[in-house]
């Protein structure tokens, strides 16, 4: 594939806050620590404090998490390297979508791995480990129980509840797998050899990216949660995270921006097998919503100390948890993630944790040969791919029409006729002038109607060319959404097994432009 880039603003896919951030607008300076520029990582390395004790806990937890995967010597060394003080991580995170879900999941990880490599080249005295944070604690099964491929939706229906990482790959999943017989063998092996969804995702992501050094972290880990006990206790008992996040959110809104997330008084869920429900405080008691569970303050304090794994952070505190258990320097995410991280710096400051560089993942549109040929036939530039379709069609028909579809000359002549006749008639009777004016308006409406008929006739004549644009739009915006948010990567991988490897050669994590990827033979 060959790469071209366009300004993200021309795509219409990004909020103004996101665009202002990547353009480094001065008014946003208070909402982050270091702007994601490679020379700024020296300051992040210098300021990040991560104790030897935390490193040891992290390494041992990862060894436990990887027990069911046969690791190469090189990968085992990658995990061991996290115990060394000169090793740092760069991280992305995502839900446990089936078969990787939308294409941008792959983009996130490729961007993160490339970032680690570039940092290694820039700062050779340090080692950088790319991390994929599995969102195993997420409980919104409807968001992850399907993937789309070539316009068809493949969905697993299950009545299980709670954290999706614990979902068992039961008979309903075996039945679902029958509908995806075309999937590559590594997917089938990962799912068929695993008991839970989290186990399967770890296996196939490791198959795809393990040789690149990607380390997969599951935050649903009792030993790692122990490091988070002070935050769990302070948030549940004092609501301080809500206060700090809301203050930052108010500042953004005062600048005219919209919030992405909304903090709560308590930003934790209670979690155990089959349950992940919000905790609320009422009348000095703590209630787990939609259950019969309730606790006195001393009871919940004891529970936090003895079983921190039963407390699952929401979107407000998950980033802080990540940064407290990893020697992390950067988080790479999509536009919505970048925005909500900007709401959280006050939370990090309060708990004394260094705010990482917040980086957009790479964004891309993959075009096939047929789409490129259609673009060429219409003389479309890359930016034209993102134009408003109705506006484009109107302008295209006007440009290519053999007639003046707007009937401008005819309208002008008729207007002049009625104005001249009205002027003459008014000399006989002044009231006739208004009658001619009314007639001119009626004739103008008739001409507009005729103009519409002419335009539709020209559209029929140009139906082949317009049809090409229809096909282009359907390809780049399936069901009206950006390709990377709909299509599964198998659409490209099954035709080209080197697809991911080609992405590594094209993606630059410090280039925030939107990429257009075309076949080389075009």
- For the stretch 210-222, pLDDT in tens is 999 999 999 999 9
- Whether 257 maps to a domain, the answer reads no
- Whether 441 maps to a domain, the answer reads yes
Give the residue from 65, 136, 36 showing the smallest Cα distance to 94.
136
Q: Residues 36, 103: one domain?
A: yes
The dihedral through the CA atoms of 151, 156, 273, 297 has a sign that is positive
Give CA separation, 277 vs 138, 162, 266, 303, 306, in Å. Answer: 11, 8, 12, 16, 19
Q: Tell me the HSE value of 80 on the side-chain side, using a 13 A CA sphere.
A: 7
Q: Whole-angstrom Cα distance, residue 47 to residue 466?
A: 56
Owning domain of residue 144: 10-230+313-366
Q: Residues 56, 89: one domain?
A: yes
User: What's the mean pLDDT in 489-499?
Assistant: 94
Q: Residues 101, 198: one domain?
A: yes
Number of folded domains in the chain?
A: 2
The total of other beta-carbon atoms located within 10 Å of residue 471's CB is 13
Q: For the ranges 114-128, 297-311, 451-465, which has the lowest average pLDDT?
A: 451-465
Q: Residues 328, 465: one domain?
A: no
* Domain stop point among 366, 388, 404: 366
Q: Residues 49, 183: one domain?
A: yes
Please name the residues in contact with 10: beta carbons below 8 A apart, sequence gap of 6 or more. 383, 386, 514
- Whether 155 maps to a domain, the answer reads yes
Q: Residues 334, 219: one domain?
A: yes
Please name the residues in contact with 204: beta carbons below 8 A apart, sequence gap of 6 or more. 100, 186, 187, 190, 191
User: pLDDT value at position 431?
Assistant: 66
User: pLDDT value at position 72?
Assistant: 95
- Whether 270 maps to a domain, the answer reads no
Q: Residues 317, 445: one domain?
A: no
Flag whether pLDDT at 14 surpasses 80.
Answer: yes
User: pLDDT value at position 406?
Assistant: 55
Greater confidence (293 vs 522) lies with 293
| Arithmetic mean of pLDDT over the chain | 91
Flag whether pLDDT at 285 surpasses 90.
Answer: yes
DSSP string, 130-173: EEEEE-TT---GGGTSEEEETTEEEE------S-GGG-B--HHH
Q: Residues 220, 322: one domain?
A: yes
Q: Residues 74, 172: one domain?
A: yes
Phi, psi of 418, deg, nearest 5: -70, -35
Greater confidence (457 vs 131) lies with 131
Rounded to a whole number of angstroms, the CA Rg of the chain reads 29
Q: Residues 338, 427: one domain?
A: no
Q: Residues 373, 360: one domain?
A: no
Helix intervals (H) in 255-377: 297-306, 318-325, 335-342, 345-350, 369-377
- Residue 133: which CATH number? 3.40.50
Q: Residues 84, 109: one domain?
A: yes
**pLDDT, tens only, 59-104:** 999 999 999 999 999 999 999 999 999 999 999 999 999 999 999 9
* Domain stop point among 465, 482, 499: 482
Flag whether pLDDT at 450 surpasses 60.
Answer: yes
Give pTM, 2 decimals. 0.89
Are 28 and 342 a contacting pair, CB within 8 Å? yes
* Domain stop point among 332, 349, 366: 366
Give the percent of the chain with pLDDT over 70.
89
User: What's the mean pLDDT in 302-322?
Assistant: 96
């Amino acid at each position: 594939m060959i790469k071209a880039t366009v300004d993200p603003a021309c795509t219409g896919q990004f909020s103004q806050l996101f665009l202002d951030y990547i353009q480094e607008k001065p008014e946003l300076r208070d909402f982050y620590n270091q702007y994601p520029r490679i020379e700024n990582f020296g300051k992040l390395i210098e300021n990040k404090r991560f104790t030897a004790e935390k490193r040891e806990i992290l390494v041992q937890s990862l060894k436990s998490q990887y027990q069911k995967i046969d690791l190469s010597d090189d990968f085992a060394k990658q995990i061991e390297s996290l115990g060394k003080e000169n090793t740092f991580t760069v991280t992305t995170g995502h839900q446990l979508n089936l078969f990787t879900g939308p294409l941008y999941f792959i983009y996130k990880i490729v961007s993160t791995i490339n970032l680690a490599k570039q940092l290694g080249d820039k700062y050779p005295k340090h080692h950088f480990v790319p991390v994929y944070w599995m969102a195993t604690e997420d409980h919104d099964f409807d968001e992850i129980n399907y993937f789309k491929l070539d316009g068809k939706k493949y969905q697993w229906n299950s009545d299980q509840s709670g954290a999706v990482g614990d979902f068992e790959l039961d008979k309903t999943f075996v039945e679902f797998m029958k509908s995806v017989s075309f999937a590559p063998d590594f997917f089938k092996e990962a799912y068929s050899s695993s008991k839970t969804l989290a186990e399967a995702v770890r296996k196939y992501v490791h198959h795809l990216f393990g040789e690149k050094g990607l380390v997969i972290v599951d935050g649903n880990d009792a030993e790692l949660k122990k490091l988070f006990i002070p935050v769990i206790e302070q948030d549940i008992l004092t609501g301080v995270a809500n206060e700090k996040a809301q203050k930052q959110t108010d500042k953004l809104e005062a600048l005219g921006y919209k919030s992405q997330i909304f903090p709560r008084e308590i930003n934790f869920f209670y979690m155990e097998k089959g349950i992940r429900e919000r905790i609320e405080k009422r009348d000095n008691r703590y209630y787990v919503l939609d259950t019969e569970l309730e606790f006195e303050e001393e009871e919940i304090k004891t529970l936090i100390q003895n079983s921190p794994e039963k407390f699952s952070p929401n979107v407000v505190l998950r980033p802080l948890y990540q940064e407290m258990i990893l020697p992390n320097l950067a988080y790479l995410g999509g536009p919505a993630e970048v925005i909500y991280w900007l709401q959280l710096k006050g939370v990090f400051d309060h708990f004394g944790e260094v705010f990482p560089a917040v980086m957009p993942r790479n964004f891309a549109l993959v075009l096939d040969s047929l789409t490129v040929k259609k673009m060429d036939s219409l003389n479309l530039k890359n930016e034209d791919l993102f134009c408003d379709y109705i506006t484009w069609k109107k302008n295209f028909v006007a440009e290519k029409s053999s007639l003046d579809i707007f009937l401008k000359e005819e309208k002008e002549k008729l207007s002049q006729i009625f104005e001249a006749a009205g002027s003459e008639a008014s000399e006989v009777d002044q009231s006739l002038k208004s009658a001619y004016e009314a007639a001119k308006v009626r004739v103008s409406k008739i001409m507009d109607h005729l103009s519409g008929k002419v335009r539709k006739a020209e559209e029929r004549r140009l139906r082949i060319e317009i049809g090409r644009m229809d096909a282009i739009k359907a390809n780049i915006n399936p069901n009206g959404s950006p390709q990377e948010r709909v299509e599964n990567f198998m659409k490209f991988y099954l035709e080209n097994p080197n697809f991911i490897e080609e992405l590594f050669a094209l993606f630059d994590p410090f280039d925030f432009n939107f990429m257009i990827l075309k076949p080389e033979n075009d």
